[in-house]
Amino acid sequence: MFRTPLRSLSTTARTTLKIGLIPADGIGREVIPAAKAAIQALGSDIPKTEFIDLLAGWDTFTRTGVALPQETNDILRDECDCALFGSVSSPSKKVVGYSSPIVALRKNMDLYANIRPVLSVAPEPGQKAAVDLVVVRENTECLYVKQEQQTIGKKGREARATRLITEHASRKIGQRAFEIALGRPRKHLTIIHKSNVLSVTDGLFRETVREVPSLPEINGKYDKVTVMEQLVDSALYRLFREPEVFDVMVAPNLYGDILSDAAAALVGSLGLVPSINAGDNFVIGEPVHGSAPDIAGKGIANPIASIRSAALMLRYLGYVTGADRLDTAVDQVVREGTTLTPDLHGKSTTQEVLDAILKRL
């Protein structure tokens, strides 16, 4: 089974790998400890690990008035090599003083790329997966700049939101997407946009990404990568009808979020899909699923997305052997199908799935 290659953040040998743990809210408190246990089981395939427990989230906000404590920011920046983030229970209505901590972390640490592989488990080892694609989502702009206002007009309340797309951020995410596409067998990239309607903002994103191969410093590096474009609405339609047409998809923040969540349905559950928030100097692994308050505390949350996110994080740091071991163990458990959580129509608990994965490690 092909795994998306990711370049190491640093070639410097580490004697200790310091990992920040931010379970945050809901099932994050159940799946991040599972990911920690899986990492600890890797033994000599990674350096000695040191875990640092950190606070963030809605619960932290309700207790302290701050969703992302400065201490968490400082420790991540000054002491950690990487981190794992669980899930956050952001309210659906505006709460004065509250802002999503993961959105803030992405901006504070310039984690401009959200990389979300969506990969099904083939019936037999070595067989081609039915779904094998990567959504590369710009992680710092679009509507997620959270500049909204509400006014009173002649016909009642009016709400407006500012959407920010910059050439700088579009070029960075475009280069990252081309780099990922170059490392995959098909070497194919699809630019997702809606520039037939949003000709200025999506137009800038589309044009900037298209220009990446012709940048002087690229010097023909991406000549083998084929490029196509797809409007976001038709991309979603094709994703469900013929997912095999996609290899790497690069999209502005909001489209990337929606497409990757939808793609999770193709492999059976959000509980299977990992991601990393990646920058040039830091990486945070994060399962794609949310805080799932309906099952929080019941011990039935699927830990696989978090364990796969840990594998992605390790791969990004250059620990490919350890990452492959985690993914292979997860593949074996999913393929056997006897130890699965309810989201995959099983009856197993979080701990039972973790134990099954640890046994195969």
Residues belonging to the active site:
144, 194, 233, 257, 261
What DSSP state is assigned to residue 319? Answer: -
Amino acid at residue number 312: L
Q: What separation in angstroms does the CA of 31 have from each of 2, 82, 84, 361?
A: 25, 17, 10, 18
- Contact call for residues 134 and 117 (beta carbons, < 8 A): yes
Longest CA pairwise span in the chain (Å)? 68
The CA radius of gyration of the chain, in Å to the nearest whole number, is 20
CA distance 290 to 206: 29
The contacts of residue 218 (CB under 8 Å, 6+ apart) are 175, 212
Residue 50: its H or E element: strand 48-53
Structure tokens at 322: 């350890």
Closest by CA to 203, choosing from 213, 191, 215, is 191
